[in-house]
A = this chain, B = another copy of it.
Amino acid sequence: MEDSAGTGTRRGRPGHDQQAVLRVAVELFNRQGYDATSVGDVARELGLTKSAIYHHVPSKEHLLRTAVDEALDALIGALDDVAATDGLDAGRRLRLAVRSSVSVLVAHLPAVTLLLRVHGNTPVQKAALARRRTIDERLADMVRAAVAEGAVRDDLDPLLISRLLFGTVNSLVEWVHTDDVDAEALADAVTTLAFDGLGSVSRRSDR
């Protein structure tokens, strides 16, 4: 509990076991809901006692924080990478941000799913929501830049476009399963639909 760094806590046997507890906890949080899941549920799922779990992790909240920080760090890191990529106009930068968001979502699916379902009930949850808002603001800025450049339609509010675009990306957590998804193909599909629309490919060329 004295550890405030969030990821480095070690109690008893560390490493592998702590990772296993985290993985099972996040899976249960996503399946049943965070509030409906007790440390006892996590212990039962792992065939351990509750005190064995507390040997590895200080609290349920600590597990939540570790997972949502994983998701937030990955999402923010992806946006930093996009920002650091040279030679992109604003339209291509936005496309790359969409692709990267899909990739992060697939690569960190349990953590991102948990993040997207966080309420603001506790300090850890409020902090996660605050970091999410900074991401949303960066994405909205990227849409604004793409609109200003003429790469994205200017007949709709850029903030609305940003919300719909990344709402689509975030909705993937409702049905994607890591084991059966081709992240590249999914990123292609999301980007194609978002930028080109549902309209028939063949019909479009007739217009």
A195-B198 contact given A33-B33, A167-B174, CB 8 Å threshold: yes
Docked complex: A26-42 residues within 8 A CB-CB of B: 31-36
Contacts A33-B33, A36-B119; A198 near B150 (Cβ below 8 A)? no
Confirm or deny: A67 has a beta carbon within 8 angstroms of a beta carbon on chain B.
Answer: no
Binds B, one of A15-23, A58-66, A185-193: A185-193
Complex CA–CA separation, A200 to B195 (angstroms):
9
List B contacts of A193 (CB < 8 A): 156, 161, 164-165, 194, 197
- Residues facing B in A153-199 (CB within 8 A) are 153-157, 160-161, 163-165, 167-168, 170-172, 174-175, 189-190, 192-199
Interface size class of A (residues with CB under 8 A): 35 or more
CB-CB contacts of A128-165 with B at 8 A, as 1s and 0s? 00000000000000000000001111111100110111
Measured between beta carbons, the chain B residues less than 8 angstroms from A153 are 196, 198-201
Is A11 an interface position by the 8 A CB rule? no
